[in-house]
Amino acid sequence: MSTFSDVESQLKKHNINQIQICYVDYSGRLCGKLIPISEMKSIISKGVVFAKANLSFGLDDHFADDAIFLANTGDFLANPDLNSFTFLKHRPGIGRYFSNMIDESGNNWNGCPRNQLQKILKKYEDLDLKVKISLEPEFSIFKKNEDNFEPLSFDGMFTMSGMDKIHSIWQKLYESFQSNNINIEQVGKEYGPGQYEATWKYDEVIKSIENYLNFKDFVKIIVGEHGYHATFMPKPYDHLPGNGLHIHLSLWDKNNKEISCSDNDEFPLSKIGSYFVAGLLKHSHSLTAIGCASVNSYKRILPGSWSPAHICWGNENRSALVRIPGKENRRHIELRHGDNMNNPYIYLNTILASGLDGIQNKLTLEKPITEDVGNLSDINNKSSIKVLPRSLNDALSFLKKNKVFRNHLGEVIFDEFIKIKETELRQFETSVHLWERQKYFDVF
pLDDT digits (tens, 9 = 90+) for 177-223: 999 999 999 999 999 999 999 999 999 999 999 999 999 999 999 99
pLDDT digits (tens, 9 = 90+) for 78-94: 999 999 999 999 999 99
The verdict on 157 and 23 lying in the same domain is no
Domain boundary among 79, 109, 139: 109
Please tell me the predicted confidence (pLDDT) of residue 265. Answer: 85
User: Does residue 21 fall inside a structural domain?
Assistant: yes
pLDDT at 413 over 70: yes
Please tell me the predicted confidence (pLDDT) of residue 382. Answer: 63
Cβ neighbour number for residue 61 with a 10 Å cutoff: 8
The verdict on 232 and 366 lying in the same domain is yes
The verdict on 97 and 45 lying in the same domain is yes
The verdict on 304 and 396 lying in the same domain is yes
Sorted by sequence, the CB contacts under 8 Å of residue 251 that are 6+ apart come out as 124, 129, 130, 131, 258, 259, 260, 272, 273, 276
Sorted by sequence, the CB contacts under 8 Å of residue 402 that are 6+ apart come out as 283, 286
User: Does residue 114 fall inside a structural domain?
Assistant: no
Domain boundary among 66, 90, 109: 109
pLDDT digits (tens, 9 = 90+) for 134-184: 999 999 999 998 888 999 999 999 999 999 999 999 999 999 999 999 999
User: Does residue 441 fall inside a structural domain?
Assistant: no
The verdict on 61 and 86 lying in the same domain is yes
The verdict on 134 and 37 lying in the same domain is no
pLDDT digits (tens, 9 = 90+) for 326-342: 877 789 999 999 999 99
Please tell me the predicted confidence (pLDDT) of residue 225. Answer: 97
**Bridging pattern class, strands 86-87 and 148-151:** unpaired
Domain around 72: 4-109
pLDDT at 293 over 60: yes
The verdict on 155 and 79 lying in the same domain is no
Q: How many domains does the chain have?
A: 2
Cα–Cα distance list, 115 to 133, 206, 254, 335, 349 (Å): 18, 10, 23, 23, 10
Domain boundary among 109, 143, 160: 109
Please tell me the predicted confidence (pLDDT) of residue 324. Answer: 95
Measure the CA–CA gap between 425 and 368, rounded to whole angstroms.
35
Measure the CA–CA gap between 292 and 205, rounded to whole angstroms.
20
